[in-house]
A and B are shown apart, each in its own frame.
Chain A
């Protein structure tokens, strides 16, 4: 029971804490960049900076996280209550259709969040997209674990369940902290790009989850596996769990997995480089006009 609880918590909790780390990095970098830009503008225009209470400033930075956790607790409770009914919709395919829709939404909200952060749009869009993607992910993963947890709550297995919960939570948080500070150690020049790329990989991993669910209910066609890399990294082992949570690793991916994952990864990247080129040409054009 204890080990089973730890394994289930790793499976469902690890994606949540990894996303938490990545979103904290993107939002903090965004806020730091915006603050530097404002200070520079104030310095050039000889404007005295306004003193803001540092605690208030910090709380504004994390309000999206607190709001996301609060909303997801409510939504998860509602979802757990309704899951048994939803499971019977569409001839027993209700849960898969709902969860795959949520996973696809997580991917698109991550892409939108990256777009807002890179383009340096309004702070509200950055935090709103972070909040949306985080809330949706918590709803799906937490509901899965809650089903298991609530089942054994009233039985004599509760002590083992609680110990497993504490152990699993500790492991997940440790991994998230390691990831956060490892990414912070990357040299500044490459740091932002690495974080954005890793978050995009994470989003594509959520898309993989949606594909698996849709394959399960025969909405998408099945193809044979292209390769079997379980001899390198087994999905059942600790590294497999970690890579599955972070990158959507599949030991035996089919053609569908590879095509959709590759497209979901390359399309935003190519849009990013096209946008960079476009803004560079625009700036060159403006300079030529001024000259």
Chain B
């Protein structure tokens, strides 16, 4: 019984270390802004088969919910705050997202292409010349 407990504890510890090591790995960053219930840019290009970090700034006075069935992501971004979500690795294609609180205006698309992997600290502002 004690032997089983020791092995379970060791397994849990190793798994936790693996998860934390994985969690702190660097990812390419892309910036998205919400202003007047619109996403800027409305189209984001990211490399295929790579996990990327999407930083969303809400410049409005009300919260907005970033939602995407294609990407399976959902997050509330509060007024004047920023939030981070990770998307990918994704195959080539288009993945739509929208603002759940203003679905008619806040709409955008993530375009996944076979483009060279950017350096880990590059953002879409330097990589694609975004806003």
Q: Give A residues with C-beta under 8 Å from B.
A: 4, 8, 83-84, 87-88, 91-93, 95-96, 144, 147-148, 151, 212, 215-222, 224, 235-236, 250, 252
Contact = CB atoms under 8 A, between A and B. Distances in A.
Given A8-B100, A148-B101, A222-B51, A252 B19 contact: no
A266 to B, nearest CB: 18
Contacts of A212: 72, 74
A86 to B, nearest CB: 10
B113 interface: no
A83 B77 CA distance: 10
B63 A147 contact: yes
B2 to A, nearest CB: 21
- Interface size band for B: 20 to 34
Contacts of B65: 147-148
A102 to B, nearest CB: 15
Interface in B1-39: 19, 22-23, 25, 27
Nearest to A219: B23
B122 interface: no
B76 A91 contact: no
A95 B51 contact: no
Contact of A218 (B23, B72, B79, B100): B23
Contact of A221 (B22, B27, B53, B101): B22
A222 B23 contact: no
Nearest to B55: A92
Given A4-B103, A151-B62, A221-B22, A87 B89 contact: no
Nearest to B25: A218
A217 B100 contact: no
Contact of A151 (B22, B63, B72, B81): B63
B73 interface: yes
A128 to B, nearest CB: 27
